[in-house]
Amino acid sequence: MHEYGDCSFCGREVKEEVAALDYCYKGNLYVFREVPVGVC
Ligand SMILES: [Zn+2]
């Protein structure tokens, strides 16, 4: 788990959640599952 600190935009606490990301690169689609992201 990372420490995100407070959000630099709204100043609220940032928590880590996992999300799925679709990423298209050079015509290939990559799907990343359970990517940690900070959400506030
Ligand atoms: Zn925020």
Return the number of other C-beta atoms located less than 10 Å from residue 2's C-beta. Answer: 9
Distance from the alpha carbon of residue 6 to the mean position of ligand 1, in angstroms: 8
Q: How many CA atoms lie within 13 A of 28 on its CB side?
A: 4
Q: Tokens for 6?
A: 């407070």
Distance from the alpha carbon of residue 29 to the mean position of ligand 1, in angstroms: 29
- Which pLDDT score, from 0 to 100, does residue 2 have? 66
Distance from the alpha carbon of residue 26 to the mean position of ligand 1, in angstroms: 32
Distance from the alpha carbon of residue 39 to the mean position of ligand 1, in angstroms: 7
Check whether 4 has a pLDDT greater than 90.
Answer: no
Q: How many CA atoms lie within 13 A of 2 on its CB side?
A: 13
| 8, 38 Cβ separation under 8 angstroms | no
Check whether 3 has a pLDDT greater than 80.
Answer: no
Higher pLDDT, 3 or 23: 23
Mind listing the pLDDT tens digit for each residue in 12-38?
999 999 999 899 999 999 999 998 888
Domain that holds residue 30: 1-40
Q: 């679709």: which residue's tokens?
A: 22
Look at the chain and report how many structural domains it folds into: 1
Q: Determine if the pTM surpasses 0.75.
A: no
